[in-house]
Structure 1
Amino acid sequence: MSGSPASDGHYGEDLFEPEHPHESERIDAAALIYDPFTTDRLRTLVPGPGGRCLEVGAGTGTVVRWLLEEAAAAEVVALDRDTGGLGATVDPRLRVITADLRDEALDLGTFDVIHARFVLMHLPERRQLVSRLARWLNPGGRLLLGDAVEVPNPLDTSSAYRRTMDAMWQALRSTIGTDTSAITAYPHFLREEGLQNVAGELVCPPLVAGGPLARFWSETWNRMRPALEETGRVDATVIDEAVAYLASPGLAELGPGMMTAWGQRP
Structure 2
Amino acid sequence: MNINPPSATGQLGEDAAGERARLESIQRNVDAFTIGLIEDLRIDASWNCLELGAGAGSIAYWLAGRCPDGRVVAADIDTRYLDAGRAANLHVQEADISEEGYAPGSFDLIHARYLFCHLSTRDELIRRAAGWLSPGGWLVVEEPYHLPAETSPFPLIQRLLAAYQRKYSEHGADMTWARGLPAHLARCGLSEVSYSGNLGRMGGGIEKDRWLPLITQAAPDLIADGLISEADLIAFSDLLKDPAFIDIPQITISAWARRPWDTSKVSQKADTDRSGLEALRVE
Normalised TM-score (structure 1) = 0.87
Classify the secondary structure of the residue corresponding to 1:179: coil
Question: How far is 1:137 from its partner?
Answer: 0.6
Which moves more between the two structures, 40-49 or 116-125? Answer: 40-49
Is it true that 1:142 corresponds to 2:125 in the alignment?
Answer: no
Is it true that 1:218 corresponds to 2:212 in the alignment?
Answer: yes
Residue 195 of structure 1 corresponds to: 190
Aligned to 2:12, which of 12, 15, 20? 15
Q: How many residues align?
A: 255
Question: How far is 1:240 from its partner?
Answer: 2.3
Residue 34 of structure 1 corresponds to: 30
Task: Give a deviation string over 1:125-154, Cα, whole Å, max 9, x none.
Answer: 111111010010100000000011123476
Residue 124 of structure 2 corresponds to: 128
Which one scores higher on RCO, CA 8 angstroms, separation ≥ 6? 1
AA of the residue aligned to 1:183:
A
Classify the secondary structure of the residue corresponding to 1:15: coil
Q: Structure 1 vs Structure 2: percent identity of aligned residues?
A: 27
> What CA distance in whole angstroms lies between the structure 1 residues aligned with 2:19 and 2:91?
23
Task: Give a deviation string over 1:16-72, Cα, whole Å, max 9, x none.
Answer: 43x622322221111111000000000012441101000001111100111111344
Question: How far is 1:166 from its partner?
Answer: 1.5
Taking a change above 3 Å as real, the CA distance of residues 232 and 185 of structure 1, as seen in their structure-2 partners, is same
Taking a change above 3 Å as real, the CA distance of residues 68 and 91 of structure 1, as seen in their structure-2 partners, is same
> What CA distance in whole angstroms lies between the structure 1 residues aligned with 2:35 and 2:152?
33
Question: How far is 1:190 from its partner?
Answer: 0.3
> What CA distance in whole angstroms lies between the structure 2 residues aligned with 1:180 and 1:77?
27
Is it true that 1:238 corresponds to 2:228 in the alignment?
Answer: no
Question: How far is 1:108 from its partner?
Answer: 5.2
Of the two, which has the highest radius of gyration? 2
Question: How far is 1:231 from its partner?
Answer: 5.1
Classify the secondary structure of the residue corresponding to 1:248: coil
Which structure 1 residue ranges, 5 or more long, are not aligned? Answer: 1-7
CA contact (8 A) 2:13 2:221 kept: no
> What CA distance in whole angstroms lies between the structure 1 residues aligned with 2:8 and 2:26?
16
Aligned to 1:184, which of 166, 179, 182? 179
Normalised TM-score (structure 2) = 0.82
Please give the residue correspondences for 1:5-154 in structure 2 after superposition, counting only pairs within 5 Å: 9-10=6-7, 15-17=12-14, 20-72=16-68, 74-87=70-83, 89-104=85-100, 106-107=101-102, 110-152=106-148
Residue 229 of structure 1 corresponds to: 223
C-alpha RMSD of the superposition = 2.3
AA of the residue aligned to 2:145:
V
Higher helix share: 2
Taking a change above 3 Å as real, the CA distance of residues 70 and 84 of structure 1, as seen in their structure-2 partners, is same
> What CA distance in whole angstroms lies between the structure 2 residues aligned with 1:115 and 1:212?
28
CA contact (8 A) 2:202 2:211 kept: no
Aligned to 2:164, which of 164, 168, 174? 168
Question: How far is 1:236 from its partner?
Answer: 2.1
Classify the secondary structure of the residue corresponding to 2:62: helix
